[in-house]
């Protein structure tokens, strides 16, 4: 497994040197082209079925919520780079405001970024106008953080806090051009207190979902960075592939 990680990192470094004029996402995709456990690119849009339903057996999408964290997010990015694994980061607006450089680092690492509200409130408990303003404000705070490196960045993805929504809020997100992303393989790293238990939770959920799923973890949480190494090793050993998504019109 160490050899696999070294090979993935070497491929990434070679591609980075060769493609320095391209956008980070294109660089990351080229860098990982030769990695056996790198999956396909899945096209989605606001009219697509739920992402979970598009996955094949032994195929996963890795996602992280609630960042960025001042130190743990960058540690997570280093691990993902080492393994050459793509991810989607759903960022809270307040954390993006506090740590704009970390938002830029996620972007520069070639990962997708989506909105996740400002402070992770239960949006259906707010008045509709308050909830939609919260969605918009959270996204704007991310855009502000990215303006220095990508002034044309536009949001394409949104995940409701707690997956808590209403038909009206989901319709608003869709009308705004955002693809709503759920998950069906949470590691419950907000509850479990050991890396092993987080991994076991994910693997149990994947087994229940016919060995595929959108994995949900939280990069700010204490045990997640340790868990992700164990999880990636386990998934690779079991023949899973890590796919990515692209948003079409």
Q: Evaluate whether 143 touches 155 at the Cβ level (below 8 Å).
A: yes
The pLDDT score that the predictor gives to residue 8 is 57
User: Locate tokens 């032994």: which residue?
Assistant: 58
Q: What is the pLDDT of residues 94-147, one digit of tens each?
A: 999 999 999 999 999 999 999 999 999 999 999 999 999 999 999 999 999 999
| Residues listed for the chain | 249
The counts of H helices and E strands in the chain are: 9, 9
Q: How confident is the model at residue 1 (pLDDT cuts 50, 70, 90)?
A: low
Number of Cβ within a 10 Å radius of residue 244: 22
Q: How confident is the model at residue 89 (pLDDT cuts 50, 70, 90)?
A: very high
Segment among 29-43, 167-181, 198-212 with least mean pLDDT = 29-43
The pLDDT score that the predictor gives to residue 21 is 44
Number of Cβ within a 10 Å radius of residue 44: 18
The residue that leads in pLDDT, 69 or 28, is: 69
The pLDDT score that the predictor gives to residue 17 is 42
Torsion of CA 49, 162, 77, 41, to 10 degrees: 0
Q: What is the pLDDT of residues 141-182, one digit of tens each?
A: 999 999 999 999 999 999 999 999 999 999 999 999 999 999
The residue that leads in pLDDT, 9 or 80, is: 80
The pLDDT score that the predictor gives to residue 4 is 54
Could you give all domains of the chain from N- to C-terminal order, each with its CATH number?
Answer: 36-247 (3.20.20.370)
Q: What is the pTM of this model?
A: 0.92
How many percent of the chain have pLDDT more than 90?
87
The pLDDT score that the predictor gives to residue 33 is 86
- 14: pLDDT strictly greater than 60: no
CA–centroid distance for 145 within its chain: 17
| Sign of the alpha-carbon torsion through 48, 51, 56, 62 | positive
């Amino acid at each position: 497994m160490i050899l696999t990680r070294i090979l993935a990192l070497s491929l990434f470094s070679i591609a980075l040197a060769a493609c320095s004029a391209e956008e980070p996402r294109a660089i990351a995709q080229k860098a990982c082209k030769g990695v056996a456990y790198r999956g396909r690119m899945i096209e989605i849009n606001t009219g697509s079925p739920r992402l979970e339903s598009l996955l094949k057996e032994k195929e996963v999408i890795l996602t992280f919520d609630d960042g960025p964290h001042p130190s743990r997010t960058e540690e997570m990015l280093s691990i993902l780079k080492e393994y050459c694994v793509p991810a989607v980061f759903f960022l809270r607006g307040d954390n993006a405001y506090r740590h704009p450089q970390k938002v830029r680092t996620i972007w520069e690492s070639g990962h997708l970024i989506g909105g996740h509200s400002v402070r992770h409130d239960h949006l259906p408990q707010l008045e509709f106008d308050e909830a939609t303003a919260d969605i918009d404000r959270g996204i704007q705070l991310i855009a502000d953080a990215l303006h220095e490196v990508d002034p044309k960045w536009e949001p394409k993805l949104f995940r409701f806090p707690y997956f808590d929504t209403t038909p009206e809020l989901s319709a608003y997100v869709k009308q705004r051009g955002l693809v709503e992303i759920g998950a069906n393989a949470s590691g419950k790293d907000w509850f479990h207190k050991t890396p092993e238990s987080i991994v076991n939770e994910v693997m149990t959920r994947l087994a229940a979902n016919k060995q595929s799923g959108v994995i949900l973890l939280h990069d700010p949480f204490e045990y997640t960075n340790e868990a992700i190494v164990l999880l990636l090793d386990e998934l690779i050993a079991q023949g899973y592939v890590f796919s990515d998504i692209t948003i079409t019109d």
